[in-house]
């Protein structure tokens, strides 16, 4: 027994963390966060501890998802105000919701098979005539020929799944670049680069959650009219949400925020289009 453990035995209420040997009187170690009482005496004790962990994690999930859906810009402001423990970490939130969306998109894409090549038209396609006009990209031709042949035989389903899979990777390049552009737009007053990146992470987490809900709703609904109405309503809320997130987070006048929102939306659509095109091309040549 070392001196720390001996002191713990002589001081009422003082315990020693079994993990890092730090003394403390709270329920959890102040140094490493492990529970000080590590003795599991019964199945009931183990079940009660597991329930406590689950309900604590569940509270953080709901504390995060509610404002993420209904309070644009709120989570980003809370983060920089130092109120972070009650919410899921922004990067973790983004990763989880993006993975859920990509899995849903891939699964529902397989169910619906929205990409088809009619057999009679496929027979007319000569893959040997495939070419690219991109400067210095003639080395891509053999790969494009292989991709074309796969599209003829498999109908494009594999390409769609590959694009969805690679979009997640592309966003890791796209978001930091958009944060750089936002830093140029919001150059006064000066702000940290991380502020723009964090707002983008929260907004895209909302987009992934919103699109996941939309995909599920469309999948289970057979009415075309209902799908169109749902798309208009959700699209309108989506645009309003992104505008409000900028208004709340940067706290500038509405007309200035609206002007910057239009510029950012245009840049986002143009750059996003190039990213999607590049992702599709890379997906095709790596099939």
Interval 26-57: pLDDT, tens: 777 877 777 776 565 666 766 766 666 555 55
Q: Which uninterrupted H or E stretch holds 203?
A: helix 193-220
Q: What is the mean pLDDT of the chain?
A: 79
Measured in whole angstroms, the distance separating CA 244 from the mean position of its chain's CA atoms is 19
- Write the burial class of residue 27 (CB in 10 Å: 0-12 exposed, 13-18 middle, 19+ buried): exposed
Q: Which letter does DSSP use for residue 131 in this model?
A: -
pLDDT at res. 144 = 65
pTM, two decimal places: 0.73
What percent of the chain is helix, strand and coil (3-state, nearest 5)?
70, 0, 25
Mean pLDDT of 274-284: 82
pLDDT at res. 85 = 85
Phi, psi of 258 (to 5 degrees): -65, -40
Task: Please say whether the beta carbons of 40 and 52 come within 8 A.
Answer: no
pLDDT at res. 66 = 93
Domain assignments of the chain as residue spans, ordered by start: 3-39, 89-115+156-285
In 48-185, DSSP assigns E strands to: none
pLDDT band at residue 74 using 50, 70 and 90 as cut-offs? very high
Answer whether residue 278 shows pLDDT above 90: no
Which of these, 179, 204, 199, 217, lies nearest to 98 by C-alpha position? Answer: 204
User: Which CATH number describes the domain made up of 3-39?
Assistant: 2.20.28
Q: Higher model confidence: residue 263 or residue 137?
A: 263
24 bridge partner residues: 15
Task: Please say whether the beta carbons of 105 and 157 come within 8 A.
Answer: no
pLDDT at res. 116 = 41
């Amino acid at each position: 027994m070392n001196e720390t453990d001996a002191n713990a035995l002589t001081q009422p209420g003082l315990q020693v963390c079994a993990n890092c040997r730090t003394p403390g009187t709270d329920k959890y170690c102040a140094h490493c966060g492990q529970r000080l009482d590590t003795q599991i005496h019964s199945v009931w004790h183990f079940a009660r501890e597991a329930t406590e962990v689950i309900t604590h994690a569940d509270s953080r999930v709901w504390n995060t998802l509610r404002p993420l859906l209904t309070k644009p810009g709120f989570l980003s402001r809370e983060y920089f105000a130092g109120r972070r423990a009650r919410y899921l970490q922004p990067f973790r939130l983004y990763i989880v919701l993006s993975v859920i969306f990509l899995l849903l998109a891939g699964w529902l894409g397989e169910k619906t098979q929205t990409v088809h090549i009619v057999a009679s038209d496929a027979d007319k396609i000569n893959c040997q005539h495939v070419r690219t006009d991109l400067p210095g990209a003639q080395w891509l031709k053999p790969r494009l020929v292989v991709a074309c042949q796969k599209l003829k035989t498999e109908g494009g389903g594999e390409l769609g799944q590959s694009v969805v899979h690679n979009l997640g990777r592309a966003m890791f390049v796209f978001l930091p670049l958009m944060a750089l552009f936002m830093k140029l737009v919001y150059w006064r007053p000066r702000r940290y680069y991380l502020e723009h990146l964090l707002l983008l992470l929260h907004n895209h987490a909302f987009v992934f959650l919103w699109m996941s809900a939309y995909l599920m709703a469309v999948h289970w609904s057979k009415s075309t009219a209902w799908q169109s109405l749902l798309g208009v309503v959700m699209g309108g809320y989506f645009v309003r949400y992104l505008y409000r997130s900028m208004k709340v987070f940067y706290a500038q006048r509405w007309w200035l925020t609206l002007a910057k929102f239009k510029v950012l939306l245009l840049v986002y659509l143009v750059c996003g289009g190039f990213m999607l095109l590049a992702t599709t091309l890379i997906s095709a040549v790596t099939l």
